[in-house]
Structure 1
Amino acid sequence: MSTTVERNGQSLVDELRNWMGLVANPSIRIEEFVDGDRRVVRADIPGVDPTKDIELSVDGNVLRLRGERRAEEHDLHHTEIRYGSFERVVSMPPGTTAEDVAAEYVDGVLTVTMPMRAPVASSTIPITHRELPAE
C-alpha cells in the first residue's frame, strides 16, 4: 500500500518538480489557433478573479501569463484541483506589440487575441538624383 502526501492539493513530488522547473503537466492548459487574421490563445483558469489573480504582460516577442489559484481552507477534504502559482509563456507573431493584444475572461476561460503579422519584408528605397547647378 502506498500513500501520497499532499499539500494544497498537490503531491509533494509534483511540488518539488514544479520548484525545480521540471513541470511535466503544466498547472494550466492552453490552446492556440488562428481565427481569420487573429491569433488566439485560450487558457482554462476557473476559480480565479482575473483582476486580482492574473497578470498578462508582453516582453519583446513573448506573451507571459502569470497568476495564482488560491486554495480555500477546509477541514479534512480531498481535492484534485491544483492550487498555487502558474506561469505560461507563448511567443507572439513578429511585429506584435502590447497595444495589439486584447484579453477577455469569461466563464473561467481567458481568451487572448493578437493580429497575425507577416515578418517585415525587406524593401528597396528609391534614390533620387539631382544635378548640381552649373557654375
Structure 2
Amino acid sequence: MSSVPARRRSVLPDLTELFDAFPVTGFRPPFGGNLIRVEDRVESDKYTLRAELPGLDPEDINVSIEDGRLTIEAERTEEKSEGGRSEFTYGSFSRAVTLPAGADEDAVDANYSKGILEVTVGMSAKGAGAKHIDVKSAD
C-alpha cells in the first residue's frame, strides 16, 4: 500500500482544459496558466514524480529541492514566424510539490525523455510510519 499525497479527482475537466477550448489566441486565465501537469507515487524505497514537459530541451528545465519541497521550473521561448497561428504555450512554467515524510533530499535523480521529466527521490526508513514513544512513570 502506498502513501501518496492526497490528490483530488473531479468529474469536471481541469479548468485550464476548458479555457484551452476557446479559439481566442493568447487568452489565458489569471490562474492555472502555464501549469505543469504531474503524477506521483510513493514506493517503499522511493518517491517518483513524473511531469509533462513536451517540446523542451533538458537544459531548459531546472529541478531543485529545498525544505521538503520539490520545485520544477522550465521555459519555452516562442519562435517568431510570419502568418499562421499557434496553440503552443510559451513562457515560464513552474510547479512545486511537498515531498512525503521520509524523503531523502540528498538522494535525487532526474531524467528527461520524450517530453516527460521523471524525478526520483530516495526514501529513508526513518520517515516511514509512526514512531513509538515509550511512556515512563514520573514517580
Q: Tell me if both proteins adopt one fold, taking TM over 0.5 as the criterion.
A: yes
Match of 1:61 among 68, 71, 94: 68
- Distance in 1 (alpha carbons) for counterparts of 2:129 and 2:107: 15
- Distance in 1 (alpha carbons) for counterparts of 2:96 and 2:78: 24
Q: CA deviation at 1:95?
A: 3.6
Q: Which runs of 5+ in 1 are unaligned?
A: 125-135
Q: Secondary structure at the match of 2:84?
A: coil
Q: CA deviation at 1:92?
A: 0.7
What is the CA deviation profile of residues 35-68 of structure 1, one whole-angstrom value per residue up to 9, with x for unaligned ones?
Answer: 45322110111111112x1111111010011111
Q: Is the 8 A contact 1:48 1:70 kept in 2?
A: no
Q: Is the 8 A contact 2:105 2:121 kept in 1?
A: no
State the TM-score, normalized to the length of structure 2: 0.67
State the TM-score, normalized to the length of structure 1: 0.68
User: 1:133 corresponds to which residue?
Assistant: none
User: 1:46 corresponds to which residue?
Assistant: 54
Alignment of 1:44-123 (within 5 A): 44-51=52-59, 53-116=60-123, 117-118=127-128, 121=131
- Distance in 2 (alpha carbons) for counterparts of 1:102 and 1:122: 32
Q: CA deviation at 1:26?
A: 4.9
Q: Which runs of 5+ in 2 are unaligned?
A: 1-21, 135-139
Aligned residue identity for 2:37? R
**RMSD of aligned residue pairs (Cα, Å):** 2.5
User: After TM superposition, where is structure 1 displaced by more than 3 Å over at least 4 residues in a row?
Assistant: none
User: 1:29 corresponds to which residue?
Assistant: 37
In our comparison, the structure showing a higher alpha carbon Rg is: 1
Q: What percent identity do the matched residue pairs reach?
A: 33
- Distance in 2 (alpha carbons) for counterparts of 1:97 and 1:88: 20
